[in-house]
């Protein structure tokens, strides 16, 4: 797990304590472990939305800054902001966004792989997104941990670079934008000895999984048993990714308790393809727990009861998102 240091500037002890308590709760649920540090040694700063000698000292720092403002104040124009009192999911989301800035992005050395270019190109011509998916799972969760730092997958339209240590991808921003609506057919991930090129941007493991899963064969991934019990460890950070009402319903439903696939389909009324895509993406990202142990069978759900539960889920979802009832 990647270690990052968080420093507080101009914030009271109670605010810092609340933040650290939430980070302790989230420990182990993301690819990054955050620890307290003084501002000089910190990787990321949380700065009060005030103009004081202390905050002005860090106005032009190269370190990522998260500006903390109170709920009764106008939202600052900074790139990364967080409203106080904190909410766990908002805190986690902004920290994930900031963490992507800490990944290596600059290198003017031409990228080199362990295979001859002709060999890689031949693989790209016959690329199967299922092979990319299987190779990604093997690197992240296989019996043997990833031996290299960087891996590359060649596609019809460009390269996807995996930082195996932070579990983040790097790619050309135009390529990532195109992936939101098209299958670029990435091939098998192969070890390489150079970081991503200059101008590449970071893409979270969940975001990459969410863009890839629509192009996989129907059903659950081969390593996921259909009779497993599924439970979401935390809400995924969709950001600018396309999501539907059923996706948000699945988030709310699977956060509460472990359910079988059939139970999820019955309670959520979501389409099978949408449900499988959600499970596949969350499982690959480490956001979903799934196993066969201690399955709790639910009684049959009538249409009326299912509708009532669905309405309750939506009401709870709106409340969680801070929307009016």
Where does CATH 3.40.50.2300 sit in the chain? 2-102
Coil, helix or strand for 286? coil
Summarised one tens digit per residue, pLDDT across range 223-263 is 999 889 999 998 888 876 777 888 889 999 999 889 999 99
pLDDT higher at 197 or 295: 197
Q: At what angle do helices 272-284 and 245-256 cross, to 10 degrees?
A: 60
Residue 201 bridge partners (DSSP) = 171
Shortest CA distance to 217 belongs to which of 128, 316, 111?
Answer: 128
Residue 308 has pLDDT above 70, yes or no: no
pTM for the full predicted model = 0.56
d(CA 206, CA 106): 23
Coil, helix or strand for 288? strand
- What pLDDT band is residue 115 in, cutting at 50, 70 and 90? very low
Q: Which of 124-128, 170-174, 195-199 bottoms out in mean pLDDT, i.e. has the lowest?
A: 124-128
What sign has the CA pseudo-torsion 72, 77, 78, 82?
positive
Q: Domain 2-102 adopts which CATH fold? A: Rossmann fold (3.40.50)
């Amino acid at each position: 797990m990647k270690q990052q240091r968080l420093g507080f500037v101009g914030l009271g002890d109670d605010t810092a304590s609340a933040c650290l308590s939430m980070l302790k709760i989230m420990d182990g649920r993301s690819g990054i472990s955050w620890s307290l540090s003084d501002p000089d040694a910190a990787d990321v700063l949380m700065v009060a939305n005030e103009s004081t000698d202390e905050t002005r000292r860090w106005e032009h720092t190269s370190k990522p800054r998260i500006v903390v403002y109170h709920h009764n104040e106008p939202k600052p124009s900074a790139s990364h902001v967080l409203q106080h009192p904190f909410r766990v999911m908002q805190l986690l989301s902004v920290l994930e966004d900031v963490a992507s800035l800490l990944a290596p992005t600059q290198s003017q050395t031409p990228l080199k792989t362990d295979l001859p270019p002709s060999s890689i190109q031949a693989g790209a011509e016959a690329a199967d997104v299922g092979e990319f998916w299987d190779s990604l799972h093997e690197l992240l969760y296989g019996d043997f941990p990833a031996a290299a730092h960087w891996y590359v997958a060649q596609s019809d339209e460009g390269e996807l670079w995996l930082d195996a240590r932070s579990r983040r991808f790097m790619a050309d921003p135009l390529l990532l934008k195109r992936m939101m609506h098209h299958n670029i057919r990435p091939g098998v991930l192969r070890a390489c000895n150079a970081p991503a090129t200059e101008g590449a941007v970071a893409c979270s493991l969940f975001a990459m999984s969410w863009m890839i899963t629509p192009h996989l064969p129907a059903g659950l991934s081969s390593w996921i048993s259909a009779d497993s019990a599924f439970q979401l460890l935390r809400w995924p950070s969709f950001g600018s990714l396309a999501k539907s009402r059923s996706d948000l319903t699945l988030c709310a439903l699977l956060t509460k308790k472990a359910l079988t696939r059939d139970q999820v389909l019955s309670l959520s009324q979501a389409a099978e393809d949408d449900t499988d895509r959600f499970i596949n993406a969350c499982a690959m990202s480490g956001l979903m727990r799934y196993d066969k142990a201690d399955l709790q069978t639910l009684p049959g759900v009538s249409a009326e009861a299912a509708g009532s539960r669905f309405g309750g889920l939506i009401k709870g979802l709106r409340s969680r998102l801070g929307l009016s009832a």
